Amino acid sequence: MGEVVTASEGTPTVAIVGDSYAAGDLLADRSDAWSYRLGKSQGWRTDLVAMGGTGFVNGGYCGDDQIAERVGPAMAGGASTLIIQAGINDAGKPAADIREALREVLSDTQSVERVVLIGPAGSIQRPGSDAVDEIMRAAAAAADREYISTIDWQLEFGPDQLHMTPAGHADYATRVAEQL
């Protein structure tokens, strides 16, 4: 399970749980990740728990680091808002499994004042991201939570065509801020 990183200082406290995008994987400076940039631009204290390769169903490289396992540690600092960015690593997983995992996370976070789900980017490396986007959109609507779809955003990706460049992260952070 990933550790909680304070990605920015301020008020209020916002928790972000995510995958390699939130973690800033493949960036020379992880503080260039969208999660750090967003918190700084909004003046929040951001408690971040992000791990590459993870999702609602996909447990990442260690196999047991699904989103649900990281929400509690991220919220331990008293955040009133929880942002969950995920989905790309669940592309290709059974839809029923994704729906059930999302239902559990949203049920477990009913007491959180504001929960925002951010779906997968339309990366060419992960066919099936559009199906996950629709599952996440429906789950957020059913739980009366906010959803930000990034599936159609034209972002700048690095050579692997999966992870964003610093410019891609800056654009992502700006767009998320506009949606919030």
Q: Which residue has the tokens 């959803």?
A: 147
Tell me what the mean pLDDT of segment 114-123 comes to.
91
Among candidates 75, 74, 33, which has minimal Cα distance to 52? 33
* Gyration radius from the chain CA atoms: 14
Residue 1: pLDDT band with limits 50, 70, 90: low
The predicted structure's pLDDT at residue 20: 93
pTM metric for this prediction: 0.93
Each domain of the chain, given as residue ranges in start order, spans 5-179
Indicate whether 63 pLDDT > 80.
no
Indicate whether 36 pLDDT > 90.
yes
Instruction: Could you please state the CATH topology (level 3) that the domain comprising 5-179 is classified under.
Output: Rossmann fold (3.40.50)
What beta strand segments (E) does the chain contain? 5-8, 13-18, 45-50, 81-85, 114-118, 146-148
